[in-house]
Structures are given as C-alpha cells and as structure tokens.
Chain A
Amino acid sequence: MTRPELLRVEGITKAYPGVVANSDVTFSIGEGEIHALLGENGAGKSTMVKMIYGLVRPDSGQMTLRGAAYTPSKPAEARRLGVAMVFQHFSLFEALNVAENVALGMENPPPMRELAARIRAVSEEYGLPLDPSRMVGDLSAGERQRVEIIRCLLQDPKLLIMDEPTSVLTPQEVEILFKTLRQLSSEGTAILYISHKLEEIKSLCDEATILRRGKVVATCTPRERTAREMAELMVGATLKTPERRVGAKGEVALGVSDLSVASPIPFGTSLKGISFTVAKGEVLGIAGVAGNGQDELLLALSGELKASPDKVRVAGHAVGDLGPVERRRTGLVAAPEDRYGHAAAPDMSLVENAFLTAGVRKGLTKNGFVDWAGTRKFAEEIIAAYDVRTPGPDVAARALSGGNLQKFLMGRELMQGASVIVINQPTWGVDAAAAAQIRQSILDRAGEGAAVVVISQDLDELLEVSDSFAVLNEGRLTKPRPTEGLTMDEIGLMMGGAHGMEVAHHVA
C-alpha cells in the first residue's frame, strides 16, 4: 500500500550539553499511516516528537509537511498546521474541568457552552465518553487520556502524535483506544505512535522506525517481525529473561488485614479494607492503573501512614502504629516510586542517601555519630553490585540519570538483608538491560527467603517476577491469585474492565 507522503524528517540532529539526543534522524510518514517510533528510555524518541510539535528546535536538518518546509517555532504553529500531540504526562490541569482543559489546548476555542456540546459530540463519535463539566482531578487515568485525545481531535489534525499512550490503561481500555486510532487512520489522519511495547506495535502500526542512542538503527514493518527481533534491534544486544529460583514458601512474613486509611495526597485515593499476606520467599505483584491507591499503599506499608497496630504485621509482630524507622528495625524496607524527593534527597550525595534508609539496618552509627567510612563502603558496594554509572559515591543524587538513580535506590533497599521488601515501580524509566537486572535481584532476594511486594503498572514485569497477583482498583485490593495460569483478559477484568466504556459503544 503506497500512501502520499505527509511528513518527512531528514537528517535531524539535536544536542544538549553533554548528550546528543538525536543524530541524523530520517524517516517519513504517509497520510493515514500509523507509524511507530520505537526505542528505549533515553533513545531520543521524546526529543524527536518535541521537535515535530515545535517545543524544541533542531540544531540541523529539515522537516517537510506535505512537501512544504515545516519549521514550527512553537506548538501553536504546529497545531495550526495540523499537528497535534497527546502527552504522556504533564499536560492536564487537575483543578480545571474537562472543557477548560480542552480550551487551553486550542487556538481559538468557541464559547464554553458550544465547546461542551462539541466535546460531547466528538466523544460519542469515537466511543470515548466524557462529561465536559467534570473536574479532571476526579477522572481515572484512562478518562484523562480521553480528554487529551479529544482536545486533539477537535482541531482536525492531519498528524496525531501519541507519546506512550497505553502505559496508564487497562488492557480493555487499550483495545478501545486502538479501535479509535484505527478509525482515525481510516479517515486519513496519520498517527505517530511512540512506545516501547512491542506487542502493541505489532498489532497496531503499519511502519516502525527504531531509535537507539539517538540514531535510527532500523525501519521495518512490525507485522513481519517478531517482538524479540524488534526488542534486540531496540536494545542492541540479546536479552536475558530473569530466572526464577524455586524456593519453598515459608511462613507468613507480612500480613495486612482490613487496612483502611485516608489519602494524604490531594486528589489521592483512600485505601479501603486492604487485606493480604505474603509468605517468606514469595513475591506478590500488585497491578493497577496509576492513581488507584498505589502511592497510599506504599505509604501505609512503609510506615509513613500509620494505622492501628494489628492492621499490619511483620513476622507476627503488630507494627501498624510504628513509623518507618521502627518498621525498618523489624525488618521491613520500602522503596517509593518518586525518585527525586521521596526515595532520595536529590541534593544530598549518594553516601548520604545510602545512610538515610540503611542507617538503621546496617548499623551505620557509632555512639550517635554517623559512621561515614562504613556508609561510604556500603554506597560503593551498591554502586558496584548494581552497575550504577556515576563518577563516584559523593555525587549528588540529582546528578544521576533517572535509570541510574533507580538502580542505586533499588540496590540500597535490596542489599539491607530485610525480611520484607516493598517496592513501588521498581523499573520505571530504567532501560531494558538494567530492568532485567533489577528483576533478577528481586527474585534472588525472594529466593533467599525475603517476602517481596512489587507494586507496578507494568503487567509484563509483574507476570515475570510475581508468584501471586492482585490488583488495586479505586483503593481496594482484589484477592491475590496465583500468577501461573492468569490470562490477560482475567487481569483486565480484575483491573475493573474499561471504566464505563461499554455504555458508549452501545451509543456509537
């Protein structure tokens, strides 16, 4: 199938101080084509689309849109020329309602009442139900994404850029999104689809451009390749699947019963009657779309949110009313998701950060003074064991890239010899090789008899590491089930299906 060319990107190069984000990138997208831009975190995908959307200017190279030179100097210009973008994060305003959010992304929005009517019309046409007067802060992640998509569709784009759109969706919601995208493509709208999820790309995209370290390493037709081939092109190395060491399950190490706590986070989700147990040597995977209580669950387990004593038990001892330090003493360590500010103090050095959570368990104080020599030794051990790329342990945590800091923080918790380990998003923003390594060490700790709770939005990751599987949905936890034998469909239903989408498809 040949299509007339819509956008051509030729020899684009963009360098930031110290790093070349894109180097001599060339590809083209036809009218109505669904084109995948594939690559690992840090491969330069986001920088590339920011240039197409006019947020960043390339250092050299040209772009043409329908044969005419295309040099957008700001997003408004890109939008006027028919290029729209659905962002992964950061482009919705929680305290504003849907219609106001949509209006902010338009050049000349009509009056609010008319806009609300158009939002309703478009959302029904594409099977994406949405109430224009609702506050965005109260919407689920899937609904928020609909706001972004509808914002774009109202402007009749020729090219729709989607940056990692499915990372926040349940499998059913992904299906509905794909249906919408295929409908758009058949109507002649081209889609530039950014992702690192290969199965999705295989099922959705017509063409793919694969980036590695800012360079195009291959172009291919995804349907004709296997996911493994594309993964190896993307990573540039053969991938190892983590090995599971089969250890006998021991007695219960962490027990939580009927735990309900109010969320301290604005627009957060309160926990409602959470109950589960994790045995020694067991990995419990907790899935769920972001914002369904993951952060709150971590706070409640780490001790930052307190409950009555017997709600949380470590090895039979009631710890519900203990703070984080006391809980660490009883053998429970926790690694939160937010690296800069929650898991680490960004302006402190790696040595200091190592002390902050490991001080208690590793005995890094002497007579009330910090044992700096011992702390430094521990930090160096983490750096060596987890292959953290840093000039040295005295570098500020802020200076490390996200993936490297994540490796350090995972190492810090996993190397404390704890009996219960709780991790939220262990491999978020980490490249595939490092992610595999982190997963392997989670399995190793479990093999040594630790009870591990992994909270993650990456289903493949959870299926890979966990022995039992549960889902957080609006602050409630489903009953954990053995991971073996679970199908994607069952998981999707556990995740609450498609959040009211069925209704819309009856209408449409």
Chain B
Amino acid sequence: MDLGGINPVILIATLMASAVPILLAALGEAVVERAGVLNLGVEGMMIIGALGGFVVAVETGSPVLGFVGGAVAGAALSLIFALLTQVFLANQVATGLALTLFGLGVSSLGGQGYNGIKPPATGQLLPDALADLPVVGPILFGHDWVVYFSIAMTAVLWWVLKATRIGLIIRAVGESHEAAHALGYKVNRIRLMCIAFGGAMAGIGGAYVSLARVPQWVDGITAGAGWIALAIVVFASWKPWRVLIGAYLFGGITVLQLNLQVAGSGIPVEYLSMAPYLITILVLVIMSAGRRGKANGAPAALGQNFHASR
C-alpha cells in the first residue's frame, strides 16, 4: 500500500512519534497559560531538558532515568522564570525570551564532550507479536512508552482542567487573579507550581528529541520546536485535545514533507521545509476563527503579574 512512494501506515506511526516533543511541551505550556502566566521560554526549557535527559541517560545507562533528568532540568530552569516573574514581578515576556537565550547558551556549554555519543535506546513498549499486526500494529502498538505517555497526559490534563477542583482553581487564577486572591487562593504559589509543571513537561519533550528522535547530542537540537509549541497552544484555544491535533498535524506534515523530499517530488525543498509551519498555523487559525471576543478562550489574566498589595 504505497502512495507515491509513501506508506500511509508508516507515515501515521512516524508522525505520532515525531509529534511527541511538541505535544508534551505544548501541553505543559497550556497549563501554565491557563494559570495566567505567559512563559516564552519553552524553547530554552526544552533544550535544557534535552541536554539534562541526555547526560543522565548516558551516565546512568537508563533511558527512563534520562527522562526524569530531563523533567528535573526543565523544571529547574522554569523555576528561575518563576522566581523572576512571581517573586520579583519581572515582565513575563522579557523574562521568557531571556530564558530561551539562557537555555540555548547553557545547553551549548554543558553539552561539550557529549557530541557523537549514542544514548541508551528507548525501545518499543509492547511485544513484537502486537506490533507486527498489519496496519494497527505499527500505529497502535509499535511505539515506545513516551508516545503513550504523551497521549495519556493529553487525556489527564483535559480531565483535570475540565472536571477537577485543582483544574477549576488553575482556570480561576488565570481568569482573574484579584478575584482568586479575594477568595483566599494563593495566586503566586499556584502559578509557581504550574510553571514548574510546564517546565518539567517541556524538559521531557526535549529529552525525547535527544534520546529517541535524533538520538544524539548536537547544539541547538530542538531547532525551534518550543516556538511551534507556543503557537500551537494559542491556536488550540488552550484545550488539550486541540493541542494534540495541532501537534499531530505539525508532526504529520513534517514527516510527509521529508518523505516527499526523499521520494524526489517536483516541489522545491524550500517550500516543503516551510510547509509544516505554514499549514499548521493556517489550519489552527481557521479552527479558532469565528470565535473572537468572549469565546476565544484566552485566559483573561494572561501575562499579567499579580501582587497582593491591596
């Protein structure tokens, strides 16, 4: 079953894996933004996570510990952001941008000496008997655990934000910090925890790039994935399942255009390379169009710092 040299089953299976880093980072950022914080440092947290995950996995030989290391590294970097914006009330946009630059620089420095090493492999989770089934095997059963983890996180976050008390409090804080404060919620503490969670998710996403997707360490390995994650969060209206659609769309078109390049299609390479960015944003813009104003879902207090002075 080949269409112009491209096997759709392989394509779907590959896109699910290739979307994982963006999906995880975007889910984390969606929670952060729902709490009213705009952290533009996703790219920086991802690459620190990529390095942290890579170093821990190489040193311990355990890929699972590597992902934990990535989460810790991402969360640690995000706590710098949390300290600056929630305690010292620094501007969130500027701090987030600085965080990205800082993360890129630090990872480049810390990655010296890890070039050219192969990390321990993150293997397929389920037995071959399942993965070898035709069509459904590669799509449903042939993945490593992080792919399943990312889908599970989408469902969990959707449920938490929609139906649980903690989700309600997070949304309330992002909607109006004054009101939340008046009711006795610790706005900055809740935001700080959300920021750390977002950092951990970005870190795991980054670690997936260096441990499973590439898998090796090179400078600037995340290559702008963090920025795409940020865009997806906005165009997905801060809803987890839409984030998943956005990430898969981007992942899918990325894989597709690579395949088209390999298959030697007539379209110039430059157009193919820009296609994932253009099409993802276009589709998400169309999805979120027509819901201007009250229904666009942007947390009302997004990007505003809160100080309980009155």
Chain A, residues 82-112, CB within 8 Å of chain B (1/0): the string is: 0000010111111110001001110001001
Q: Check if B179 sits within 8 Å of A54, measured CB to CB.
A: no
A304-323 interface code vs B (CB 8 A; 1 in, 0 out): 00000000000000000000
Q: How far is the CB of A391 from chain B (nearest CB, A)?
A: 21
Given contacts A76-B184, A267-B294, contact A95 B179 (CB under 8 A): no
Nearest-CB distance from B288 to chain A (Å)? 15
Scan residues 46-97 of chain A and give those whose CB is less than 8 A from a CB of chain B: 54-55, 74-76, 79, 87, 89-96
- A264's nearest neighbour on chain B, judged by CB, is B293
Contact of B300 with A55 in the complex, beta carbons under 8 Å: no
Given A91-B182, A93-B176, verify A100-B168 contact (CB < 8 Å). yes
- Chain B interface, >50% SS class: helix
Question: Is B183 an interface position by the 8 A CB rule?
Answer: yes
Instruction: Answer yes or no: A374 CB below 8 A from chain B CBs.
Output: no
Specify the chain B residue showing the minimal Cβ separation from A111.
Answer: B163
Given contacts A94-B175, A94-B300, A137-B294, contact A75 B168 (CB under 8 A): no
> In the bound complex, do residue B183 and residue A75 qualify as a contact, i.e. CB atoms below 8 Å apart?
yes
Knowing A96-B171, A104-B172, the reply to whether A55 touches B294 (Cβ < 8 A) is: no
The verdict on B144 contacting chain A, using a C-beta distance below 8 Å, is: no
**Complex: how many Å from CA A200 to CA B176?**
31
| Per-residue interface assignment for chain B, residues 284 to 310, with 1 indicating a CB less than 8 Å from any chain A CB and 0 otherwise | 000000000110010110000000000
Q: Are A266 and B293 in contact (CB under 8 A)?
A: yes
A94 to B301 alpha-carbon distance, docked (Å): 11
The distance in angstroms between the C-alpha atoms of A329 and B225, with both chains bound, is 51
| A75 lies within 8 A of B175 (CB) | no
Provide the residues of chain A in CB contact with B176, threshold 8 Å. 90, 92-94
Most buried by A among B168, B169, B180, B185: B168
Q: Does B300 contact A91, Cβ atoms closer than 8 Å?
A: no
Q: Once the chains are docked, how many angstroms separate the CA of A109 from the CA of B169?
A: 13
Q: Given contacts A93-B175, A94-B175, A266-B294, are A103 and B168 in contact (CB under 8 A)?
A: yes
- Pick the contact of A92: B168, B171, B179, B297 (CB < 8 A): B179
Question: Which of B169, B183, B293, B297 makes the CB contact (< 8 A) with A91?
Answer: B183
Type the 1/0 row for B4-19, where 1 means its CB is closer than 8 Å to any CB of A. 0000000000000000
Main secondary structure of the interface of A (DSSP, over half): loop
Bound Cα distance from A451 to B300, whole angstroms = 38
The one of A54, A74, A89, A104 in contact with B168, judged by C-beta atoms closer than 8 angstroms, is: A104
Query: Which of B163, B172, B300 counts the most A-chain CB atoms under 10 A from its CB?
Result: B172
User: Which B residues touch A90, using CB under 8 A?
Assistant: 176, 178-179, 182
Question: Contact mask B216-237 → A, CB, 8 Å, 1/0?
Answer: 0000000000000000000000
In the complex, chain A residues whose CB is within 8 Å of the CB of B180: 93, 104
The interface bits of chain B over 154-185 (1 if a CB of A lies within 8 angstroms of the residue's CB, else 0) are: 00000000010100110110011011101111
The residue of chain B having its C-beta at the shortest distance from the C-beta of A92 within the complex is B179
Instruction: State A105–B184 Cα separation when bound (angstroms).
Output: 9
Report the minimum CB–CB distance from B172 to chain A (whole Å): 5
Closest to B309 in A: A16
Q: How far is the CB of B276 from chain A (nearest CB, A)?
A: 32
Interface residues on B, range: 20 to 34
Asked if B182 and A55 make an inter-chain contact with CB atoms under 8 angstroms apart, the answer reads: yes
Which residues of the partner chain B approach A137 to less than 8 Å between Cβ atoms?
294
Q: How far is the CA of A92 from the CA of B175 in the complex (A)?
A: 9
> Is there contact, CB below 8 Å, between A109 and B182?
no
Give min CB distance, A354 to chain B, whole Å: 27
In the complex, which residues of chain A have a beta carbon less than 8 angstroms from the beta carbon of B178? 89-91
* B172 surroundings in chain A (CB, below 8 A): 93, 96, 100, 104
- When the two chains form their complex, are residues B179 and A91 in contact, meaning their CB atoms are under 8 A apart? yes
Docked pose: A320 CA to B297 CA in angstroms: 33
The answer to whether B184 touches A75, judged by C-beta atoms less than 8 angstroms apart, is yes
B163, B175, B184 — which one has the most chain A CB atoms within 10 A of its CB? Answer: B184
B179 touching A93, Cβ below 8 Å: yes
**What is the minimal beta-carbon distance from B58 to any residue of chain A, in angstroms?**
46
Q: How far is the CA of A79 from the CA of B185 in the complex (A)?
A: 13
By beta carbon, the residue of chain A nearest B177 is A90
In angstroms, how far is the closest chain B Cβ from the Cβ of A135?
Answer: 8
Q: Which residues of B contact A103 (CB under 8 A)?
A: 165, 168
Query: How many angstroms from the CA of A100 to the CA of B165 in the assembled complex?
Result: 9
List the B residue with the shortest CB-CB distance to A109. B165
Partner of B169, one of A76, A87, A104, A267: A104
Measured CA separation A137–B299 after assembly (Å):
13
Q: Return chain A residues, CB-CB under 8 Å to B182.
A: 55, 75, 87, 90-91
Alpha-carbon distance A109/B163, docked complex (angstroms): 13
> Which chain A residue has the least Cβ–Cβ distance from B178?
A90
Q: Is the CB of B184 within 8 A of A74?
A: yes
- A112 contact set on B, CB distance < 8 A: 163
Minimum CB distance partner of A107 in chain B: B184
CB-based nearest B residue for A268: B293
Docked-complex contact B183 and A104, CB < 8 angstroms: yes
Determine the chain B residues whose CB is within 8 A of the CB of A75 once the complex forms: 182-184
Q: Does the CB pair A96–B183 fall under 8 Å?
A: no
Considering only residues 48-91 of chain B, those with a C-beta below 8 Å from chain A are none
A95 to chain B, nearest CB (A): 5
Distance to closest chain B CB from A504 (angstroms) = 26
Whether B168 lies near A95 (C-beta < 8 A) is no
- Tell me the minimal C-beta distance from B231 to chain A in angstroms: 22
Complex Cα distance, B299 from A91, in Å, reads: 16
CA distance A95 to B180 in the complex (A): 13
Most buried by A among B165, B183, B294, B299: B183
Residues from 191 to 220 in A contacting B, C-beta threshold 8 Å: none
**Max chain B Cβ within 10 angstroms of own Cβ: one of A87, A91, A93, A137:** A93
CB distance from A19 to the nearest CB of B (A): 12
B163 contacts across to A, CB distance below 8 A: 112
- Tell me, rounded to whole Å, the shortest Cβ–Cβ distance linking B24 to chain A: 26
A-B pairs, 5 with minimum CB distance: A75-B184, A90-B178, A93-B175, A91-B182, A91-B179
Sample (8) of A-B pairs whose CB atoms are under 8 Å apart:
A79-B184, A89-B178, A90-B178, A90-B179, A96-B171, A104-B180, A266-B300, A267-B294
Query: Footprint of B on A, CB under 8 Å?
Result: 54-55, 74-76, 79, 87, 89-96, 100, 103-105, 109, 112, 137, 266-267
A91-B179, A95-B300 provided; 19 other pairs, C-beta below 8 A?
A: A54-B184, A55-B182, A55-B184, A75-B183, A79-B184, A90-B179, A90-B182, A91-B182, A91-B183, A93-B180, A94-B300, A95-B294, A96-B168, A100-B172, A104-B168, A104-B172, A104-B183, A112-B163, A267-B293
